[in-house]
A and B are shown apart, each in its own frame.
Chain A
Amino acid sequence: MNIENLIPSPDSIPVPWGWFWLFLMITFFLHLLLLNVTIGTGIISLVKSIRGKENDLKTAKDLGVKLPYAIAFTITTGVAPLLFIQVLYGHFIYTSSVLMASYWLSIIALLLMAYYSAYIYDFKFDALGSSRSIFIAVSVIIFLIVAFFFSNNMTLMLMPEAWKAYFSNSRGTILNLYEPTLYPRYLHFLFASIANGGLFLALLNDFRSRKGNNDSRGNILLGLKWFTFAFIIQILIGFWFFLMLPKEIRILFMGQNFYATTVFILGILSAFTTLILSLKKQVRLCTIMVLFTMTNMVLIRDVVRTAYLKPYFSVSSLKVYPQYSPMILFIIVLTAGIGIVVYMLKLASRAGKEV
């Protein structure tokens, strides 16, 4: 069977692919950031809730009440990259989604459960007593399952060779479990989430401490501890992930392709810089470097995707039937929307309530 014959024909696009690439990178970056915070703070809150000492519970609640926001914005920011990836790679991701359709569709029900469970954890934190851990555990476990499904889909869409499995199983229950990069990829994201969850805790308390709240010091250190520990593991997993990549993709980052090599080196350098800053307890600088590292990682991830699909497809081959006016409308509404969000946040901050 010729694999290429299985790949669906793509639809045309209204503006050159670069625009969509840009929107995809930006919105995915935002999504990744919030996703990391959601999963990371969820895990920390769970651990703290289980430990159950007074200080632990304080931290657990502090993070728990923010979880509904984090989930809401993770989902909201997730919609946009899902939209743009469909524009550029729809014919791959629709296919891989159908192959794992049963799992993929279950995400909706799972997310509903996780979301409501998080709300119960938030609204009833004190009333629930020790059983609160069950609710945060449900949310966290579901997030980890959903993330695993996402890792499966994101790898399966890149590997048309694995699609042949459809001919012996078309019930939508194919996972990409035989793919060696699946596990380091998943764990890489998982530990990034824990690290960023810790960093969020540190940053939040750094902000409070700068506002004069002296109790926050402990949680800054706690957050940084989580961050550093998870970040070191993540770096190690990162290398594992890198080694698992096919050789022809790996060598792109090792000098064969200038752009790939640049973002890769920048990524590694920034990661180590981040680590040093975290050890030096420089929360804000560390955060800036994390954002820079994540930017590089998002770009590296994009290079990997492009390289995987290279034998079959390149975004530059998409037919363009230009029509710019809808994009201009989008940019105008986006700008207005950001302005209005900023305005509303100002109104909210004046009300003295953190949002």
Chain B
Amino acid sequence: MNYPVWEIYTFGGGFFIAFIAIVHVYVAHFAIGGGLFLVLTEMKGHRENSEQILEYTRRHTKFFLLLTLVFGSITGVGIWFTIALISPAATSSLIHTFVFGWATEWVCFAVEIVALFIYFYTFGKMDKKAHVKIGWLYFIFAWLSLFFINGIIGFMLTPGKWIETGNFWHGFFNPTFWPSLIFRTTLALIFAGIFGFVTSTFLKDDSFRKTMVQYCAKWLLFPFLFMVISAFWYLKSMPMGSEIMIVERSHEIKSIVLIFITVSSILFISALFMAIRAPETAKKPIAFALLFIGLLYMGSFEWIREAVRRPYLIYNVLYSNSIFKSDLKRINEQGILKTAKWVNIKEINDNNALDAGKDIFKLACLSCHSVKGPMNDIMPLTKKFSVFGMEATLDGMGKLNPYMPVFAGTRAEKSALSRYIVEGLHKNHESPHIALKKSLEFQMPGFDDKTDQYVLLSWNSKGMHFFSDSDKSFSLIPPGNTLYACLIKRGEIPERVFDDIEISYFIDKGFGQPSKQVSFWEFSQSLIGKKLDKDKGISGNPLQGTMKLDESGEIFSADHLPVVPYSEEGSFNPYPLITIEAKDKTTGQILARTKTVAPASTEMGCKNCHGGNWKVLGVTGIAQTAASDILSTHDKNSKTNLRRLAKKGLPVSCKSCHIDSTKETAKDSGRLNLSAAVHGWHANYLPDRGADACYNCHPDSPNGTTRSFRGYHAGIFDCTACHGAIEDHALSLLKAELGKNKKGALRLMKHLKPQMAKTVDEINPRIPWVNEPDCLNCHIDFQLPDNDDFSAFNQWTSVEKDLFRHRHDDMYALRCTSCHGSPHAVYPAASIFGNARDNIQPMQYQKSNKTLGSNNCKPCHTVPMEDEAHHVNSLK
């Protein structure tokens, strides 16, 4: 935040550092191992009294000098130049903390250079012993350079006690100091062997060449075992080491570790091959191939080290984008633009959001990400995102995936950065969401207050059944709408009728063959484990049939009707009507007829983050792009292979792993239930958004097409009033899972901050579809709330039968929903598909859209009531 940012988009920070660091470190390690190689080979020459060996050593020294002294030393300076340009704050911190470490290393470097010059220019001209002494001095000082740099580099990975004490020595002799020193020393020796191959394969004398190639192979082979042991020790010494091995912190690490292991094996086998039976003609190409493989080896090791350290430059101290962890709180409060010194825009407004976003990109992203460059290109990584999705990704950074630093800055800055990436870089401008607005006509069923003897009530269980139409890829929830009905014989004391009647139902024309609209039936075997008859729901019910008395014997129901919101004529109607008829079984006479909506929607905004567009008519449905991305993301994060399965025509249902809590068996325990998993995961990406978080996934957005939250309450409050914000909602679900000892819950809970409670402890755990907000939390004793604080959150129904959809009145005569309508659509409801559609029975029976019976208990009671028998306050 302190320094200006060098705007190099194509070669964003990572490229220069990776390039110069890897080539330098390769040569620098060779400069150490190669030093020992020189002096030991010279000693071998003296010992064996071999002019050939001595001459070889002299020539190798020249090669060594030109490579290490020139290329090695200048690229070493180059690393300093580069990191000071890309991460000046980090460089400054390292310089100021370890200035005398660097200074001491510099002394070693200077002595090393003097020694090398003398060694080369006096080769063959100096007394043997003295010359060997110079050779040893070179090696000792070269190794001491490593000793000192190793302390500082190790500090960046494992600062150890330094974080508390600030003591130079605690940072220097950090937890990875010794294993890293030994590991790097063995690497240096291996590289000496590789570079030895390069010069020895050029020797003209056949037998001498063979001897020297074998000699060089030993340099590769002997240190190998020590290298492997020290590599494990190194990994073990990192606090995050066990984490890497167990959960594989990131996919990148996994693949680089694989490269590292493969290259290790190649090196070892090649060295053996060179030593034993490589044909003479192959030796030179192998030597050069090994030279390149050595570079890969160094590169993959350095990459692993960098990747393990992420998202930090100095572990737990300084993030990759040069933001100090200790500054995070201040930056989050004041904003990155206000805390950064080198930006023009300090306040974001509508006119400068893209420019501000660019400034934020420079500060927060550019040190690692390029724009259309060869390394860490931001473009493919963000291609799929809408502005909302981008912002959600920024919100989730550093939480479930610890690879990226957390975003430092305010909400407005996050939005500006998202806009810059999506609209500025990708030129993706979202067309404003056009909701379908049409009031659909229908024939209101008739009722004659004077002559009709029956009142038929019917409603659906949840007020909205939203399901995924991505069956080819996966099924979040299959289509399935449950209807209830109840026939009442009117009178002074009305009676419910159960006997000798048949209650039948049929859906609107055009909705009867859902299998033509969605592919659920095609994949039902894979999705739910059984082949379903076309157009029948998961419990076997078709869209035209007879209702049955449910288990309680109190109510007629038809469960899991496969209603889809797509009609045969190609329209989207999330509120198709179902006609219900009650018939006298004996006479066949129709006693009563009504209609009710069977709400079903596919308006799930997965595309907002997972890419692509709406699947149907530009307003609804999960398109293939988003569906595939969801699978890939799940595969990446949870080590599954769902995408491959889907490609093979074997899509899965989410609930096949994330089983409902109520259906869980001991065998299943361990995985989170679907609600906890989905909300818990996404809450990490959608914090601080209130109801907006709900709207982006559920079909209840006030700007959407379904607008499923359409009951009377929709005009007063939003989803969060009863369910809490997504953080609260997720925490309540996760806490219940944690109570069952499901450890995964803890990971998802770690970064969630409750919005409607002060602490996580205050949030009461709950099981989905059992413990839901209770209406009586606000409507104490069935009264209207006496203040504006409409919060039903955190007081849950204790058992399933207490849910609004199952609850009875005081007389056990009617369910709450019979008179009040379905959840989320209580009377009087308002729908953009026509207000009457959701208020059919109040309109039919009492010519008003208010709660049934609000007109002096008509229509069921033929005389006005004076007692509040159903529940107190029912006569108001």
Contacts of A8 in B (CB 8 A): 2-3, 88-89, 341
- Chain B residues, CB < 8 A from A326: 98-101, 104, 168-169
Q: Are B88 and A98 in contact (CB under 8 A)?
A: yes
B contact residues around A116 at 8 Å (CB) = 66, 70
How far, in Å, is B126 (CB) from chain A's closest CB?
4
- How many residues on chain A are close to B (CB under 8 Å)? 71
A177 at the interface (CB under 8 A from B): no
Contact of B106 among A80, A86, A348 (CB under 8 A): A80
Closest to A73 in B: B113
Interface residue tally for chain B (C-beta within 8 Å): 67
Q: Cα distance A69–B69 when bound, in Å?
A: 10
Nearest Cβ on chain A to B171's Cβ, whole angstroms: 10
Instruction: Please tell me which stretch of B74-82, B176-184, B397-405, B654-662 contacts chain A, meaning at least 4 of its Cβ atoms lie within 8 angstroms of it.
Output: B74-82
B545 within 8 A of A: no
Which of A72, A73, A104, A171 counts the most chain B CB atoms within 10 A? Answer: A72
Within the assembled complex, what's the spacing in Å between the Cα atoms of A101 and B166?
A: 31
The answer, yes or no, to whether A108 is at the interface (CB within 8 Å) is yes
State the CA gap A95–B166 with chains docked (Å): 26
Question: Binding site of A, secondary structure by majority: helix, strand, loop or mixed?
Answer: helix
Determine whether A347 belongs to the interface, using a CB cutoff of 8 Å to chain B.
yes
Q: Which of B7, B8, B84, B121 contacts A94 (CB 8 A)?
A: B84
> Could you say which residues of chain B place their CB within 8 Å of the CB of A325?
168-169
Which residues of B482-508 have CB atoms within 8 Å of chain A's CB atoms? Answer: none
| Residue of B82, B107, B117 most packed against chain A (CB within 10 A) | B107
Which of A97, A329, A344 is within 8 Å of B114, CB to CB?
A344
Which of A11-19, A267-275, A283-291, A307-315 binds B? A11-19
Partner of B78, one of A9, A108, A321: A108
CB-based A-B contact count at 8 angstroms: 207
Q: Which residues of A contact B74 (CB under 8 A)?
A: 75, 108, 111-112, 115
B contact patch SS: helix
**Do A83 and B73 contact each other (CB < 8 Å), given the known contacts A101-B85, A340-B111, A353-B121?**
no
B35 to chain A, nearest CB (A): 14
**Chain B residue at smallest Cβ distance from A321:** B166
Please pick, from B8, B71, B106, B341, the residue contacting A171 in the complex, using a CB distance under 8 A: B8
Pick from A201-209, A214-222, A253-261, A330-338 the stretch touching chain B: A330-338
Q: With a 10 A CB-CB cut-off, give which of B6, B75, B130, B362 has the most chain A CB atoms.
A: B6
Q: Please pick, from B82, B88, B122, the residue contacting A348 in the complex, using a CB distance under 8 A.
A: B122
> From residue A81, how far is it (CB to closest CB) to chain B in Å?
10
Which of A12, A84, A337 has most chain B Cβ within 10 Å?
A337
Q: A82-114: which residues lie under 8 A (CB-CB) from chain B?
A: 82-84, 86-87, 90-91, 94-95, 97-99, 101-102, 104-105, 107-108, 111-112
Q: How far is the CA of A327 from the CA of B98 in the complex (A)?
A: 10
Who on chain B is nearest to A172 by CB? B6
- A166 in contact (CB, < 8 A): yes
A318 to B75, alpha carbons, bound, how many Å?
Answer: 31
A11 to B4, CA, bound (A): 17
Q: Is A55 an interface position by the 8 A CB rule?
A: no
Contact in complex: A351, B127 (CB < 8 Å): yes
Smallest Cβ distance from A330 to chain B, in angstroms? 4
Q: Is B96 an interface residue (CB 8 A)?
A: yes
- Of B69, B91, B100, the residue contacting A330 (CB under 8 A) is B100
For B87, the closest partner residue in chain A by CB is A94
Cβ–Cβ contact B99 & A83, under 8 A: yes
Closest chain B residue to A11, Cβ basis: B96
Contacting pair B6 A14 (CB below 8 A): no
Q: Does the CB pair B134–A344 fall under 8 Å?
A: yes
Which residues does chain B contribute within 8 Å of A166, judged by CB atoms?
A: 4, 342
Determine which residue in B4, B85, B121, B130 has the highest number of CB atoms from chain A within 10 A of its CB, and name it.
B4
The reply to whether the CB of A5 lies closer than 8 angstroms to some CB of chain B is yes
Instruction: Give complex CA distance A97, B113 in Å.
Output: 28
Report whether B95 and A351 are in contact in the complex, using a CB–CB cutoff of 8 Å: no
Please tell me if A178 contacts chain B, counting CB pairs below 8 Å.
Answer: no
Q: Which of A1-56 contact B (CB under 8 A)?
A: 5-14, 20, 23
Q: Within 8 Å of chain B (Cβ to Cβ): is A210?
A: no
Contact A334 B122 (CB under 8 A): no
CA distance A188 to B325 in the complex (A): 46
Contact between A90 and B96 (Cβ–Cβ < 8 Å)? yes
Q: Which chain A residues lie closer than 8 Å to B106 at the CB level?
A: 76, 79-80, 83
For the complex formed, measure the closest distance between the CB of A24 and the CB atoms of chain B, giving whole angstroms: 11
Asked if B801 is at the interface (CB within 8 A of a chain A CB), the reply is no
Q: Which residue of A lies closest to B359 (CB)?
A: A170
Cβ-based interface call for A355 (8 A): yes
Do the beta carbons of A11 and B93 come within 8 Å of each other? yes
Residue in B73, B95, B107, B118 whose beta carbon sits within 8 Å of that of A333 in the complex? B107
The residue of chain B having its C-beta at the shortest distance from the C-beta of A12 within the complex is B96
Interface check A350, CB cutoff 8 A: yes
Contact assessment for B77 and A79 in the assembled complex, using a CB-CB cutoff below 8 Å: yes
- List the B side residues contacting A95 at CB < 8 Å: 3-4, 88
With a 10 A CB-CB cut-off, give which of A14, A76, A95, A167 has the most chain B CB atoms: A76
Which residue of the partner chain A has the closest CB to B130?
Answer: A347
A110 to B2: give the CA distance in the assembly, Å: 29
B125 at the interface (CB under 8 A from A): yes
Q: Which of A195-249 contact B (CB under 8 A)?
A: none
Cα A115 to Cα B75 in complex, Å, equals 12
Per a CB cutoff under 8 Å, which of B75, B96, B118, B141 touches A108? B75
> Which residue of chain A is the closest to B168 with respect to CB atoms?
A326
Smallest beta-carbon distance B276→chain A, Å: 37
Do A83 and B103 have beta carbons less than 8 Å apart?
yes
Complex alpha-carbon distance, A325 and B2, angstroms: 30
11 further interface pairs, Cβ-Cβ under 8 Å (given A172-B6, A341-B114): A11-B95, A13-B99, A76-B110, A87-B99, A108-B81, A111-B77, A171-B7, A333-B104, A344-B114, A344-B134, A351-B130
Could you pull out 26 A-B pairs where Cβ atoms are within 8 angstroms? A10-B92, A11-B93, A75-B73, A79-B109, A87-B99, A91-B2, A95-B88, A98-B3, A102-B6, A105-B81, A108-B78, A170-B362, A323-B168, A326-B98, A326-B100, A326-B169, A329-B104, A330-B103, A334-B103, A334-B107, A340-B111, A344-B115, A347-B133, A351-B127, A353-B122, A355-B117
Taking Cβ atoms with an 8 Å cutoff, the residues of B that contact A are 2-8, 16, 20, 66, 69-71, 73-75, 77-78, 80-82, 84-85, 88-89, 91-93, 95-96, 98-104, 106-111, 113-115, 117-118, 121-122, 125-127, 130-131, 133-134, 137, 141, 166-169, 341-342, 344, 362
Return the 4 tightest CB-CB contacts between A and B, nearest first: A326-B100, A8-B2, A351-B126, A94-B88
